[in-house]
Chain A
Amino acid sequence: SQTIHQWPATLVQPVGSPLSLECTVEGTSNPNLYWYRQAAGRGLQLLFYSVGIGQISSEVPQNLSASRPQDRQFILSSKKLLLSDSGFYLCAWSVYHSISPLHFGNGTRLTVT
């Protein structure tokens, strides 16, 4: 069966520091991968999605970037964090882009101080 792993579970970082969140999927090949941000326990906002290695689509302009160095690995990064980057970050995967349901990881709670 397929599983998705996200880490770390929680992170506290100072303003201006770099960020790297990692997500990996097991048990499937060529998954579609997604990064979402959730503020205040509501509202899932799509940040990035990837339909293949090295292919990244950005949904909203922001201080973050994403990379997909391997088929089942998706990384969310920032060179310099802002206070407004605080939130709950969720990685997800799907079999077919925009057709099949998303399956989410357990999220990373990021607090920028």
Chain B
Amino acid sequence: GQQLNQSPQSMFIQEGEDVSMNCTSSSIFNTWLWYKQDPGEGPVLLIALYKAGELTSNGRLTAQFGITRKDSFLNISASIPSDVGIYFCAGPFINYGGSQGNLIFGKGTKLSVKP
């Protein structure tokens, strides 16, 4: 079945550094979503991408929908301590008939920021 592979699994960076993480799949996706989860809370939607090649920003965050439709990237510029958390990519499963099903999630990238 379809899976989303996120890398890296974890990152330890210094405050002020830029961060880059990605999500790949062996199958194509029509939508890519990026979520952030703070400790003990539910994931919050950061960016939604609906078109191959699309590049979207949300403050210091920028995400891109890969042109092959099999990957997506999330970049965070000039990280700050409140960027700490787990970042998930997600996309709707595409069944054999071509229709979209439920969202599947990557296993997450855990970001730690040293002040």
Interface residues in chain A, defined as those with a beta carbon under 8 Å from any beta carbon in chain B: 6, 34, 41-44, 46, 49, 59, 90, 92, 97-99, 101-107, 109
Contacts and interface: CB of A to CB of B under 8 A. Distances in A.
A101 B45 contact: yes
B contact residues, range: 20 to 34
Given A99-B31, A102-B33, A104-B42, 11 more contacts: A42-B107, A43-B108, A92-B42, A98-B93, A98-B99, A98-B101, A98-B102, A99-B100, A101-B33, A107-B41, A107-B42
A44 B44 contact: no
B92 to A, nearest CB: 5
Where chain B touches its partner, the secondary structure class is: strand
Interface string B43-60: 111001000000000000
Contact of A103 (B45, B88, B90, B92): B45
Contact of A42 (B86, B92, B103): B86
Contact of A101 (B42, B48, B108): B48
Given A43-B107, A46-B103, A109 B42 contact: no
A102 B102 CA distance: 10
A42 B48 contact: no
B8 to A, nearest CB: 13
B105 interface: yes
B103 A98 contact: yes
Nearest to B41: A106
B40 to A, nearest CB: 7
Contacts of A105: 42
Contacts of A90: 42-43
